[in-house]
Amino acid sequence: AKARGRNGYAFYAPSMDGEGVERLRLEALLRRAIEKNEIWLAYQPQVEIDSGLLIGVEALVRWNSPELGAVGPDRFIPLAEDIGFINQLGGWVLEEACRQMKCWDLAGLYVPKIAVNLSARQFDRGGLAATVERVLRETSLPAHRLQLEVTESVIMNTGDAMQYINDLHAIGVELAIDDFGTGYSSLAYLKQLPVQTLKIDRSFIKDISTDANDEAIAIAIIQLGKSMNLAVIAEGVETVEQAAFLLRHGCRRAQGYLYARPLAPAQVLAQWGQNKNA
């Protein structure tokens, strides 16, 4: 059943039409995906631009469904949030990511930091700090090697954001603002929060050599980071020109296809295993 709402939006009754059925099927499959070992984490290297040294990895969740094929996180994360599955999924991601760090350690690859994405729903209920603390203890990963990524909109839209962030900070984990520049940018909150890193959103990096506005925004974020003593990392770096631009303007860290795609753990080991930095 598809109907035109008063404002002209189409909305759907979930029981009747094809899309509703499809969604229910997706939901049912997603709920069982963890126990069926269909969920896994890819890791995208973060590097120092001038030296190419590995400074960290970002964990990116993947779902290989036998029924549906590969489903992207842009599709199933919002669904997981809607159906109240995100805490389970997010908890699994956190544990798996920290466990993987231990595996690399044992295999002789020192990955300095792991970045894990947090969704709004994980962030806005109490108990996150306790979960993080437990996972760190169980995997014996030092807190400073875990970086949690939250977006500006999550921070701005969460009532007790400041308290939650302070709780996490007290444990010793790092905090990065993801997709910086795309949300409600409030510089006031930046000043008050114990944040260590700004991630320049990919959308500003993409057209850096052709779009003067994007260039200006990227430069402004780099300057802001510098003046507030925050690390700045650029996302979605695909070309040497983009990397050169960043370096020229004082951004020394990057993540993107130019360096590596999100990789399976064994690929990280194979490609970065010779890395001697610490």
- The residues that touch ligand C2E, with contacts defined as CB under 6 A, are 44, 59-61, 72-74, 77, 90, 93, 117-119, 178-179, 202, 235-238, 256-257, 262
Residue 256 CB, nearest distance to ligand C2E (Å)?
A: 3
Report 33-92 residues binding Ca ion (CB under 5 A).
Answer: none
**Residue 213, Cα to own-chain centre: how many angstroms?**
25
Helix ranges, the chain (H): 18-33, 73-82, 86-107, 120-123, 128-139, 152-157, 161-171, 187-192, 202-206, 212-227, 240-248, 265-272
Is the CB of residue 73 less than 8 Å from the CB of residue 93? no
In angstroms, the CA 198 to CA 190 distance is: 10
CB under 5 to 8 A by kind: which of Ca ion, ligand C2E, none does 256 bind?
ligand C2E
CB atoms within 10 A of CB 249: 18
- By beta-carbon proximity to Ca ion, the closer residue of 54 and 77 is 77
Report 99-118 residues binding Ca ion (CB under 5 A).
Answer: 117
- By beta-carbon proximity to ligand C2E, the closer residue of 14 and 40 is 40
- By beta-carbon proximity to ligand C2E, the closer residue of 109 and 243 is 243
In angstroms, the CA 244 to CA 19 distance is: 45
- By beta-carbon proximity to ligand C2E, the closer residue of 49 and 61 is 61
Classify the C-alpha dihedral 123-127-132-135 as positive or negative: negative
**Residue 149 near Ca ion by CB under 5 A:** yes
- By beta-carbon proximity to Ca ion, the closer residue of 20 and 95 is 95
User: Is residue 221 exposed (0-12), middle (13-18) or buried (19+ Cβ within 10 Å)?
Assistant: buried
Report 184-223 residues binding Ca ion (CB under 5 A).
Answer: none
Nearest to 255 by CA among 42, 109, 48, 93: 48
* Binder among 179, 231, 234, 237 for Ca ion (CB under 5 A): 179
Residue 142 CB, nearest distance to Ca ion (Å)?
A: 21
Is the CB of residue 109 less than 8 Å from the CB of residue 275? yes
* Binder among 96, 174, 178, 214 for Ca ion (CB under 5 A): 178
Q: Which stretch binds Ca ion (CB under 5 A): 48-56, 137-145, 155-163, 178-186?
A: 178-186
Residue 117 CB, nearest distance to Ca ion (Å)?
A: 5
